Structure 1
Amino acid sequence: MQGSSRWCGGAMALMLAWLCASGSAAAQVPATAPASAVPADDAQRDGYRYYQIGDLAAPRPAPTRAGMMLVGGGDWPREAFAWMIERAGHGRIVILRASGAAEAQNEFFRDLGGITAAQTLVFENRRAASDPRVLEIVRGADGIFIAGGDQSRYVRYWKGTPLARALDAHVRAGKPIGGTSAGLAILGAYAYGAMDGGSLVSQTALNDPTGPKLTLVDDFLHLPYLQRVITDSHFGKRDRLGRLIAFLARLSQDHRRSDLVGLGIDEYTALCIDAQGEGRVFSGNGGKVWLVRPSLRADVYAQGEPLSLRAVPVIGVGADSTLRMRDFKVERPAFSELYDVESGQLIRREPTA
């Protein structure tokens, strides 16, 4: 047995390298092999890097089921990831990212466990989103996870490409998808693209919601129950309620809609949505999902002017709550608050006696 654990040396390594280079679906990495089992010269491909771990030829142990896992960033809430792995049929997870390397696949395979294999695609340009081998890997995934980083790269590299269409098709096929931080940001029908290269803070957004730093994107992914939604991550820790309200004010004006919804998700927290649109919160630190639904147009919305908007309801969705994504009703809310924005200042109304 000890000798077999070193099979990746010599001739077998050459055979594996040849199989990976040819794109053969029969290429395998033993379940105990490290992510670096993919030869270094094969990790770099045309416009992307590729890593794998586990047995790519192993059959999926159970059927897949639809589901979406929206993670607010930071540490991974393990219960949420176990939920996603179960919905992936304990099969093969494909991780998509535009920076980093094999960190997430190692965490899926080694720390969480219960999957047959994991593959990572690290995109370096837009051309890779049309690469036939990339699309083959994505189409063969039992579950897809979009890592954190810089969401502007996802927008530039993926929007309007065969990869974006493959992600929509993956979900339509009844297979789960998840994303954290930047990967969460692009799951909604609308997204903060961070196209200016920065990370917009709440006060800047409220001071001028028409400004060039507030870069919003639509018509990217088209996922069920998120057709009216814009998401935001690292929510409570980075004080992002103001900017999410500014996002919704901008979208309401640009699209002439009053039915849009914001979902802000705390760190170490996830909202998991099943095929029926029932959302549950999992958190390792008592974090919440913040449901923001302005029902009125802004009182003051003009170029270069601070935002004024009254009576914005904000509802907390906690571990004991249920969020019905069909109508955005919350059962057993963790909190219910009302906010005003007056000349760019966010003010929470005091509860009435």
Structure 2
Amino acid sequence: MKTLLRLALAVLALLAPAAASARPGESYSYYAIGDLAAARSGPTAPALMLVGGGDWDYGAFRWFAERAGHGHIVVLRASGEGQAGEEIYSQVGGVASVQTIVFHSRAAANDARVLDILAHADGIFIAGGDQANYVRYWKDTPVAAALDAHVRRGRPLGGTSAGLAILGGTAYGAMDGGSIDSPAALADPAGPAVTLVTGFLHMPRLAHVVTDTHFAKRDRLGRLVAFVAKARLRDPRAIGLGIDEGAALCVEADGSAKLHAPPGGHAWLVEPHGTARLRAGKPLDWAGVRITGIAPDGAIDLRTLRVTRPAFSGVARVAGGKLIGAPGPK
């Protein structure tokens, strides 16, 4: 009986998430669930999972787990605790373990243990929250270099909400202490509230992409157009990619991507035509912006931006800070 009890307790200790290791004043908290010593059961593969926030599509996460070789996942965040790791391990399944690192300060980005965990991750997932914290804690640090190196090693990386917002070559950093809405962004895209960040992460296929999340639900098409307008001051090839809540765009190594989404969920491709009229303190004017929707029965190639079976497509314009004629779901 005692042997059985000890065995049961050992199993519970293995499966239960570890308590946070941080004490007051420490730079991060740590949680783990699963068998950290287990061998990965398959090979890893290069992949990106771009999640729009909200509820997760478990099919997309199982795709991610497969590309992580059903091995060891690391979740990064700057708020909350270890619940996302528990969900991946217990509800999504198909992984050996999940470790969660919750950053409390920039000091953690230089911590040897943190960097060792990232170096050995089979897949890395960046959770939601406030992307300004990710910029403050990770930009120009060993953690940012480790994320780039992880992808170069042919291992998958994903992000949701704030975790997706930072993955583009130009990212909306929300550094002004808020989250700008479409009317405000279109009213002054060159102004200080549109806080774009460059040179942060270097994801394949996203060098000229500005991402946005919670897209249709929070009416963010206008602000993504404004972000792209400002991004083009530095990068004339910049385009926008918005992902709806509950949706996940799963990008293979060759740039081909399929959407996992609930009914009515889409990814939105924003491709401007011509040059915007962009002046500090003035509303945006842009003669033509092509907007294309991708649904689960379609696809997009991020190498060429070719969309197969678009859900909707059309050219809108911006006049005096107003987005006019934008296509969308029927």
Please say whether Structure 1 and Structure 2 have the same fold, judged by a TM-score greater than 0.5.
yes
Q: Is the 8 A contact 1:269 1:285 kept in 2?
A: no
CA distance, structure 2, for counterparts of residue 218 and residue 264 of structure 1: 18
> Match for residue 260 of structure 1?
238
AA aligned to 2:32 is: Q
Give unmatched runs, 5+ long, in structure 1: 10-28
Deviation at 1:56, TM superposition (A): 0.3
Name the residue aligned to 2:310: 333
| 1:3 match | 6
Query: Which one-letter code corresponds to 1:118 in the other structure?
Result: V
What secondary structure, in the 3-state scheme, does the structure 1 residue paired with 2:240 have? strand
Q: Residue type matched to 1:318 in 2?
A: A
Counterpart of 1:51?
Answer: 31
Among 232, 256, 263, the alignment partner of 2:212 is: 232
1:265 corresponds to which letter in structure 2? I
Q: Within 1, Cα distance between the matches of 2:204 and 2:188?
A: 31
Please say if residues 316 and 327 of structure 2, whose CA atoms lie closer than 8 Å, have aligned partners that are also in contact. Answer: no
Query: Which of the numbers 132, 143, 149 marks the counterpart of 2:123?
Result: 143
Does the CA contact (< 8 Å) of 1:66 and 1:174 recur in 2?
yes
Cα distance in structure 2, aligned partners of 1:232 and 1:242: 11
Quote the offset at 1:74 in angstroms. 0.2
Letter in 2 for 1:339: A
Farther-moved stretch of structure 1 (88-97 vs 45-54): 45-54
* Shift in Å, 1:338: 1.4
Structure 2 residues without counterparts, runs of 5 or longer: none
C-alpha distance 39-346 of structure 1, shift in aligned 2 (>3 A)? closer
Residue by residue over 1:55-80, the C-alpha shift from the partner in whole angstroms, topping out at 9 and shown as x without a partner, is: 10000011101100000000001111
Q: In the alignment, which residue of structure 1 is the partner of 2:257?
A: 279
The 4+ residue runs of structure 1 with deviation greater than 6 A are none
Aligned to 1:166: 146
Q: Structure 1 pair 337/152, CA: closer, same or farther in 2 (3 Å)?
A: same
Letter paired with 1:122: V
- 1:220 is the counterpart of 2:193: no
Write out per-residue CA displacement over residues 257-300 of structure 1, whole angstroms, 9 at most, x where no aligned residue: 432110000000011100111011001233000000112111x3
Amino acid across the alignment from 2:9: R
Residue 116 of structure 1 aligns with an amino acid whose one-letter code is: A
Counterpart amino acid of residue 195 in structure 2: T
1:34 counterpart residue number? 16
- Aligned residues of 1:70 and 1:180 also touching (Cα < 8 A): yes
CA distance in 2, matches of 1:109, 1:239: 33
The Cα offsets for residues 327-353 of structure 1, whole Å up to 9 and x where unpaired, read as 1110111110211111011111689xx
The Cα offsets for residues 159-197 of structure 1, whole Å up to 9 and x where unpaired, read as: 000010000000000100000000000111110000011
- Secondary structure, in 3 states, of the residue corresponding to 2:108? helix
Tell me by how many angstroms 1:104 deviates.
Answer: 0.5
Equivalent residue letter for 1:223: M
Specify the alignment match of 1:100 in structure 2: 80
2:268 pairs, out of 290, 294, 307, with: 290
Alpha-carbon shift at residue 39 of structure 1 (Å)? 4.5
* 1:68 matched residue in structure 2: 48
The percentage of aligned residue pairs carrying the same residue is 52
Secondary structure of the structure 1 residue equivalent to 2:282: coil
Q: Shift in Å at residue 7 of structure 1? A: 4.1
One of 296, 304, 308 as aligned partner of 2:281: 304
* C-alpha separation in 2, matches of 1:8 and 1:234: 38
CA distance in 2, matches of 1:116, 1:165: 25
Taking the aligned partners of 1:109 and 1:147, their CA distance within structure 2 comes to: 15
Partner of 1:21: none
CA contact (8 A) 1:80 1:270 kept: yes
2-structure distance, mates of 1:232, 1:52:
30
Where does residue 133 of structure 2 map in the other structure? 153
Q: Distance in 2 between matches of 1:274 and 1:105?
A: 23
Q: Judging changes above 3 Å, is the alpha-carbon distance between structure 1 residues 7 and 279 closer, same or farther for their aligned structure 2 residues?
A: closer
How well do the aligned residues superpose, as a CA RMSD in angstroms? Answer: 1.6
Contact 1:194 1:215 in 2 (8 A): yes
Classify 1:212/1:114 alpha carbon distance in 2 versus 1 (closer, same or farther; 3 Å).
same
Deviation at 1:8, TM superposition (A): 8.7
How many residues matched? 324
Letter in 2 for 1:305: K
**d(CA) in 1 for partners of 2:151 and 2:10?**
37
Q: Distance in 1 between matches of 2:263 and 2:111?
A: 40
TM-score by length of 1: 0.89
Q: TM-score, normalised by structure 2?
A: 0.95
